[in-house]
A = this chain, B = another copy of it.
């Protein structure tokens, strides 16, 4: 199979690229290297089945050209900065919604009819039901990021109905592991590396979130695509546990062997539109035989060890995630 991976130089994208190559697929990585890293593709670039198409998802022609001869699209390119949506509201619209339209239109032009999409548990807003199943009550959006991904899901489903595409839509919790380059573990590690004596925490530390290890995430994606054959297949992806930010702080400080003084910005939300409790019901994907191999604590541990051995990722990030 020949696959195009948008955002293929990113954290999840590049890991997917490596896994696709490992199973024998041909892979086109499409990335604008805005947050993607050439370093993540070092191994892939040794592989003759790999090719790189440097381009932006807002460039319709480049996208269409890159898709020539592909059988499947993994659309992972996105603005993932859920926290800063209100500072640049058009960014989510462009990079997540319009970009997804462009990907779909390129598929139509290039004759590609199958797509997997990285959506988010944020589309449930402040969910009425927790753990939240895929068919939860019609949600009210609370972030521009969630809204832009919901719009992406809607476009994909409409293209499936309108043009006979098939889609796998994955609503992720936060993903952790090797090549992780944004989110609270990243922020905390950075802060503590600079000053192990203090740690600034957004909110009151009681926010409850779920996390999933990157390789478990890729396993789940492969399982769903292999076994689920509806026209539109929607899956929550997460572990059957959640932790509080305070638990996470404990894991991190233990692993780093530091004892910082904590200061909390206060309030039940870390930022405007933050969801104080994200916990997804993942029984649908589990029924297909998938289960995560790592606990959240283990995933946090691997992430920290990765960051420790790869501090270059902090310098490589153009905009510090904690700014």
For A125, list chain B residues within 8 Å (CB): 157
Q: Is A40 an interface position by the 8 A CB rule?
A: no
For A136, list chain B residues within 8 Å (CB): 137-138
Q: Is A217 an interface position by the 8 A CB rule?
A: no
Chain A residues near B (Cβ < 8 Å): 85-86, 89-90, 93, 97-98, 101, 104-105, 108, 124-125, 128, 134-144, 146-148, 150-151, 153-155, 157-159, 161-163, 232, 234, 272-273
For A89, list chain B residues within 8 Å (CB): 101, 104-105, 108, 159, 162
Say how many copies of this protein the assembly contains: 2
For the complex, give the distance between the alpha carbons of A234 and B155 in Å: 21
Q: Is the CB of A161 within 8 A of B137?
A: no
With A158-B143, A158-B146, A273-B162 as given contacts, are A151 and B86 in contact (CB-CB < 8 Å)? no
Q: Is the CB of B98 within 8 A of A140?
A: no
Smallest Cβ distance from A162 to chain B, in angstroms? 4
Listed A/B pairs (26) with beta-carbon separation below 8 Å: A85-B158, A85-B162, A86-B162, A89-B104, A89-B105, A89-B108, A89-B159, A89-B162, A93-B98, A93-B101, A93-B155, A97-B97, A97-B151, A125-B157, A134-B138, A138-B139, A140-B234, A141-B158, A142-B158, A143-B161, A143-B162, A144-B155, A144-B158, A144-B162, A161-B273, A162-B272
